[in-house]
Chain A
Amino acid sequence: MIEAKSVTKKFHNETAVRNINITVKRGSIYGLLGSNGAGKTTLLKMMAGIYRPETGTISIEDVPVFENVFIKKKVCYIPDTLYFFPQNTIAQMAEYYQNIYSEWDASRFNTLKRVFQIDTDRKIHKLSKGMQRQVAFWLALSCMPSVLILDEPIDGLDPVMRQKIKNVLFQDVADREMTVIISSHNLREIEDICDHIGIMHQGELIVEKELDDLKADTHKIQVAFKSELQEKHIVDQLEVVHQEKRGSVSVLIVKGEESNIKRIVRSEKPFVFDILPLTLEEMFIYEMGEVGYEIENILL
């Protein structure tokens, strides 16, 4: 579990992270979204114990993480700009991590070799950017961390490898209740792996949501009624966050339980009634109402 309590971090005169409270539950995958400069990286670096917060506390498993070797042994951090020791091969780098992380699992390292399929005697610096990122995942996952902190990790990976890594992550989360926090500036990239989403903007966390709630709760329906009155009647009964008219067909974004919505709509006998798929992005935008239109600018 990662917990940040009223955390603020300033760089000289600029506040990078402003009074943030965040809780990432054990075994969940938390997606941290935000445009460039929103403060995601700074927050993650504080979680990784690199930066010391100015005020507030960041704890993992209820212990402050800064300079805490005991807890940092269970944490792995993959930064957006990777770093490996110059001239090291994958095997040498693995040996270094083995000396540093007591939980290092050599058999796991060998198992993962099948996933990544890179010769361990190759020098990391000579690998492509995407391959280097795979190596970073490989090393991190071999450390058997309880907490994995990933800063923009999907960049530079091909779709096949992206899927493979997602699968490995899911497996670890499922098997060992690994906690993952993952940052991105693109919601679409991570929407299929996260169960929680937080959106940062100008150093603040403006939205925090559980995806299942969001998905179960928000629906896009297409309806057409004989009379305006019928439509008005159901709109009054439903919690409509957005309404659009296309000819005689209305598109409504509605909150609430699906069966309940169906029952209400059907009671007025519509001659068109469809429930349409809603992208996560739309959900956010509609869900957040006024804030949502701000988010629209942030998310892409």
Chain B
Amino acid sequence: MKLKTFFFNKGIQKQNVKQHGWIGIVYLVGLLFALPLQMLLMTSNEEVMHEPVDNLFQIGFASQLFFILFLPVLAGIVIFRYIQTKSSSDIIHSLPIRRKDLYLNHIFTGLMLLLPPVWLSALSAAVITNTHSFFESISSGDIWGWVFAISIMTMFLYVFSVMVGMVTGMSTAQGVLTFILLVLPPALFFLITASLSRYLHGFPASYYSSENITSWSPVMKLTELDYNNMSLPITELIIYFLLTIVFGVAAYFLYKIRPLETAGQAIAFQPLKPIFKYGVTFCSMLVGAVYFQRFNTYGWIGFGYIAGALIGFFVAEMIIQKTWRIWSGKLLKGFAIYAGIIVIVGIGINTDVMGYEKAIPSKNEIEGVYFGENLQQLMNEDENKEIYANDQRYIQNVRAFHDEMIDKKQQTKPRQSRRYIVSYKLDNGEQLVREYSVSNNEKIDSLAAVMESETYKRSRFQLSELDKPMESIVIAPHVPTRDNVTISNPKEIEEIRQLLKYEISRLTIDDMLENGKNWGHIILNTEENIENAKSQPYAYRQERPVMMWKKTFDEFESWLQAHGYLEKARVTPKDIQSLEVVNVPDAAHQQYFPDQVFMRSTDNNPIIEVKDSQAVENILNNYSEHGDGTYFCRFITDSREEFYGVLTEDEVPEEIVTQFK
């Protein structure tokens, strides 16, 4: 209580509650509607089946989020409005109260208006969960989790809004800037990486700009709460709580040095004006560039940079001066200096002054290496145990590939490309990650050595899963003529295991690059996975290990035939009732999906029906589900199922090709 008497001012508190009390009421009513009332609705309306709820975040989250995001920020604006209006600012600051006490009293009012609604909502939610069996899976821990998360985020957003208010002199600017700053870190990160990936050959933009950067923005973090983790982990809550204190203290010091005469101006501190101005210019420039990147020509991108920068620069200046008539020679000088710096930085990046593009770690620096197409594997590194390989030959091969890629710097991004990621774990603990796009029809000499190695195949095809104890193996054909085939005989499982390992070991690079020629999926029901599925709720389950059944798996196919599974496991020529083929010569540039071709009018491209059973079998064995090619085929099975495929000219029997000529 001592602290209270220290700063608590009855007059201010009474006036604040009288003036701003409505915020607390709106927050309370909003949260009550979003949570407890929603819960009552769920229990009372028995005709509508609801998914079981085991968390308060799943109930009316959109409306919860609306109030949680906006009311604290609004409170920060409204309660500290007195510093943004000249007449009130003058009077209040002429009174015999220190700014410290003004600040503490107003902050205090805000918290007193915002927090009780959160607690009251949680309390009523708790009462409802205890009286309705529908919510039995919501534990008291879940409710406490909600209370802590929402209380801390409420305080954080409120205090952050207050701090921004100290920096600006206008309430509207305070609101707008608060939300901009709250999403700025990931947005800026995305913009910078998107731009760098264009100019820095090998820059792994997607590695940096994948989902975990959203955690840099409390707003984005909150919007993900309902489906992501269902709650904020305690460490993040502590971080937000500490940040609340940091921003609160920062706001206080800003208030102390704030020149009161800046009430009404967009930016209250003189030194922040150029930061604001050039910050807006920079962001706007990047937005312009990224927007025009889709036109993919240097002219348009250059236009994007210049237009973006100019718009940002002038808009920022207009906001600062609060007029649109800002033209002056001095302004042009400022922009010229900015442009000069950007050009120098641009040249620096383009000529790779830092040696970023050419950097390949030397052999003895490398502790392990990762090569692959799958970014997810690299991102979720700790979950996937060790993904870095330290086999010396493999390291050497990956380095050779990396070396070859460095020389293949393209000017424009290929339309159809494959992405390869190279990541080195270095002995100094650092990581060096590069990403390259290779056009589909480009040949990379050093790629075969990497991809045909056992190390690569082990990681790509999750061979470790094959070694695990298995309950059954399911073969799921892509053409649904039959049901899945389930093999659960331990002896057979063992044989398939060995066969699959053999088939994978003899895959060539061409087999691996071609990923449309599959008969079906092979699903491995490992005991571990089944166990996991039983113990975890749906959203948390591991994916089931799956392999593609490639058409090149000859031995596997013979085994299936020998054991009488083949006819059930995939479509066979016997199933085919009719087959039509069409040649679309311009398909090479157009990227058609096979079924698309048949949907469209085929007036210009005559359809040929293939009767010869040898040719049907031939085409069935060679078609690709998607990919390059100018010949498209439609199969119709006995059971009237249709499926489509694409073939290159080499893959189509000659007699059919001649029919088209």
Using CB atoms and an 8 Å cutoff, list the residues of chain A in contact with chain B: 11-12, 45, 48-52, 67, 69-70, 72-73, 75-77, 79, 81-83, 85-88, 92, 95-101
Contact = CB atoms under 8 A, between A and B. Distances in A.
A100 B9 CA distance: 8
Interface in B574-602: none
B259 A50 contact: no
Given A52-B259, A85-B19, A95-B11, A77 B96 contact: no
26 contacts: A11-B261, A51-B261, A67-B98, A72-B94, A72-B96, A76-B94, A77-B90, A77-B91, A79-B90, A79-B94, A82-B87, A83-B90, A86-B19, A87-B19, A88-B15, A96-B14, A97-B11, A99-B9, A99-B10, A99-B11, A99-B14, A100-B9, A100-B11, A100-B96, A101-B95, A101-B96
Interface in B1-37: 9-12, 14-15, 18-19
**4 tightest Cβ-Cβ pairs between the two chains A and B:** A99-B11, A72-B96, A83-B87, A77-B94
Contacts of A86: 19
A70 B96 CA distance: 7
Interface string B335-350: 0000000000000000
A48 B260 CA distance: 13
Interface residues on B, range: 20 to 34
A85 B16 CA distance: 10
Given A12-B270, A85-B19, A45 B90 contact: yes
Contact of A50 (B9, B93, B97): B93
Contacts of A81: 86-87, 90
Interface string B243-277: 00000000000000001110000000010000000
B416 interface: no
A100 B91 contact: no
A69 B100 CA distance: 11
B361 to A, nearest CB: 52
B88 interface: yes
A70 B98 CA distance: 10
The DSSP consensus for interface residues of chain B is helix
A49 B93 contact: yes
Contacts of B86: 81
Nearest to A41: B90
A158 to B, nearest CB: 23
Contacts of B9: 99-100
Contacts of A85: 15, 18-19
A69 B260 contact: no
B94 A48 contact: yes
A73 B96 contact: yes
Nearest to A71: B96
B2 to A, nearest CB: 19
A73 B97 CA distance: 9
A48 B270 CA distance: 24
Greatest chain A CB density within 10 A among B19, B86, B93, B270 is at B93
Given A48-B90, A101-B96, 15 more contacts: A45-B94, A50-B89, A51-B261, A67-B98, A73-B96, A81-B86, A82-B87, A83-B91, A85-B18, A88-B18, A96-B11, A97-B11, A99-B9, A100-B95, A100-B96
Contacts of A52: 259
A51 B87 contact: no
B99 interface: yes
A100 B95 CA distance: 7
Contacts of B98: 67, 69
A67 to B, nearest CB: 6
Contacts of A48: 90, 94
A113 B9 CA distance: 27
Contacts of B90: 45, 48, 50, 77, 79, 81, 83
A191 B10 CA distance: 41
A100 B97 contact: yes
Nearest to A52: B259
A48 B15 CA distance: 22
B95 to A, nearest CB: 5
Contacts of A73: 96
Given A11-B261, A96-B15, A83 B95 contact: no
Contacts of B10: 99
Greatest chain B CB density within 10 A among A50, A67, A69, A92 is at A50
Contacts of A100: 9, 11, 95-97
A49 B91 CA distance: 10
A75 B19 contact: no
A79 B91 contact: yes
B259 A51 contact: yes
A70 B14 CA distance: 23
Nearest to A98: B11
A69 B85 CA distance: 22
Contacts of B96: 69-70, 72-73, 75, 100-101
Contacts of B94: 45, 48-50, 72, 75-77, 79
